[in-house]
Amino acid sequence: MELHQRIRADIEGKILSGEWQPGHRLPNEHELMAQYSCARMTVNKVMSGLVTAGLIERRRRAGTFVSRQQTDSAILQIPNMREEVTSRGARYRYRLLARTVRTHVELEAETFEFFQGGPVLELECLHYADDRPFSYERRLISLAAVHHAEEADFSHFPPGTWLMEHVPWSEASHRIGALNADAEIARVLQVAVGEACLLVERRTWRLREGITQVSQFFPGDLYTLGARFAPDGQIRTRTNALKNLH
């Protein structure tokens, strides 16, 4: 392994393991040059690669910091719920419906495998737009991978936002579909049983370790997902639209 590859692997390991969390300030160029006995060009090559990968960001006169990762690299962006609602002039509100710690024996086989048999924090949340239920969220967080989640206060702070700000990730998957609301979903979203809803499911990993699994349900008349793309497959624009509430 060449020196620049070893330096990058060291830094990536600290970021993706959570040792260096989002917002952490990295050693400066001279400190890294001294630590690895290398030239400035080598350090610059490493940093440029990490910036391109979205793991770090450079701030003029402030230094280099671990990025607060975004989901823009996903096929379709899954936005911050508060920003999605308020950016369209609606009033946002959040409510935690349930919070439970579950052991491995209570998990379904597929979920058990994703979380590698460890305990999970189960959360049910509701996001509102102008006092109308906008998104019903069912989320599991690995307490083996994110042990400090058990002490986090999710009564006033949405878990998705908390995870993005505190837990680095290396891979994510999305699945988007439609379903007819069953009695429970209809009750929470205040829609009729059988009404069409949008379902967005996401799983997130860090170094092959499952971090979180979430299912988000939206009333079909409130939300759309879209993208504009070119023949080469490149996504040109993404659109997540909150429809007219009135």
Token duo for residue 241:
């639209």
Look up residue 105 and give its amino acid.
V
Q: Are residues 227 and 150 in the same domain?
A: yes
Q: Is 237 exposed, middle or buried (0-12, 13-18, 19+ CB in 10 A)?
A: exposed
Q: pLDDT (tens digit, 9 = 90+) per residue, 48-63?
A: 988 887 788 999 888 9
Q: pLDDT (tens digit, 9 = 90+) per residue, 9-65?
A: 899 888 877 788 888 999 999 999 999 999 999 999 999 988 887 788 999 888 999
Q: pLDDT (tens digit, 9 = 90+) per residue, 151-174?
A: 999 998 999 989 988 887 778 888
Give the angle subtended at the CA of 46 by the CAs of 45 and 50, to the nearest 5°. Answer: 120
pLDDT bracket for residue 75 (50, 70, 90): very low
Q: Are residues 14 and 52 in the same domain?
A: yes
Residue 19 CA to residue 138 CA, distance in Å, equals 28
Above pLDDT 90, what percent of the chain? 47
Q: Are residues 52 and 168 in the same domain?
A: no
Of 66, 90, 108, which one is at a domain's C-terminal end? 66
Identify whether 106 is part of a domain.
yes
What's the pLDDT score for residue 171? 81
Identify whether 162 is part of a domain.
yes
We report the CATH number of the domain holding residue 52 as: 1.10.10.10
pLDDT bracket for residue 74 (50, 70, 90): very low
Q: Are residues 96 and 17 in the same domain?
A: no
pTM exceeds 0.85: no
We report the CATH number of the domain holding residue 145 as: 3.40.1410.10
Q: Are residues 50 and 112 in the same domain?
A: no
Residue 185 CA to residue 101 CA, distance in Å, equals 22
Q: Are residues 119 and 231 in the same domain?
A: yes
Q: Are residues 60 and 178 in the same domain?
A: no
Identify whether 73 is part of a domain.
no
CB half-sphere exposure, 144, CA atoms < 13 A: 14
* Domain extent at residue 125: 81-242
Q: Are residues 59 and 94 in the same domain?
A: no
Q: pLDDT (tens digit, 9 = 90+) per residue, 80-115?
A: 888 888 877 889 999 999 999 988 767 777 788 888
Return the closest-CA partner of residue 66 out of 25, 122, 104, 127: 25
Please give, one letter per residue, the 3-state secondary structure of 86-107: HCCCCCEEEEEEEEEEECHHHC
Q: Are residues 59 and 93 in the same domain?
A: no
What's the pLDDT score for residue 240? 58
Q: Are residues 137 and 203 in the same domain?
A: yes
Residue 196 CA to residue 223 CA, distance in Å, equals 11
Token duo for residue 97:
């419906």
Return the closest-CA partner of residue 187 out of 124, 118, 233, 238: 124
Identify whether 71 is part of a domain.
no
Q: Are residues 85 and 39 in the same domain?
A: no
Identify whether 238 is part of a domain.
yes
Q: Count up the domains in the chain and report the number.
A: 2
Average pLDDT, the chain: 85
Identify whether 86 is part of a domain.
yes
Q: Are residues 60 and 100 in the same domain?
A: no
Identify whether 101 is part of a domain.
yes
What's the pLDDT score for residue 93? 95
Identify whether 75 is part of a domain.
no
Rounded average pLDDT over 221-232: 66
